[in-house]
């Protein structure tokens, strides 16, 4: 499972870099008086946000697939039936 996560993570890192690059291009086309600091902040903000969101969703899907969620929910279901 760890190997599968890192394989998916590499693909999502590439996606995050691509989206951050597109965001920088769109921001730079909008205003000609931008500073380099603004472009760097845009790239880092969009890139890390995309990477964090996609990584957390990947962990949710892998966790649900492995069955850990069912084991954690079992005591709650048992208490509701009583």
pLDDT in tens, 1-23: 678 888 888 898 899 999 999 99
**In 2-67, where does DSSP find H-type helix?**
2-30, 36-66
Burial degree of 33 (CB within 10 A; 0-12, 13-18, 19+): exposed
In whole angstroms, give the CA distance from residue 31 to residue 18: 21
Q: What are 19's two structure tokens?
A: 């989206």
In whole angstroms, give the CA distance from residue 17 to residue 54: 12
| Residue 47: how many other CB atoms lie within 10 Å | 19
The reported pTM is 0.69
Domain ranges for the chain, please list them: 2-68
* pLDDT at site 19: 92
């Amino acid at each position: 499972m760890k190997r599968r996560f890192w394989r998916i993570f590499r693909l999502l890192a590439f996606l995050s870099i691509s989206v951050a690059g597109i965001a920088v291009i769109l921001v730079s086309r909008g205003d000609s008086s931008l500073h380099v600091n603004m472009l760097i902040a845009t790239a880092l903000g969009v890139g890390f946000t995309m990477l964090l969101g996609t990584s957390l969703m990947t962990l949710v899907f892998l966790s649900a697939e492995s069955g850990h969620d069912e084991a954690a929910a079992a005591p709650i279901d048992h208490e509701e039936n009583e």
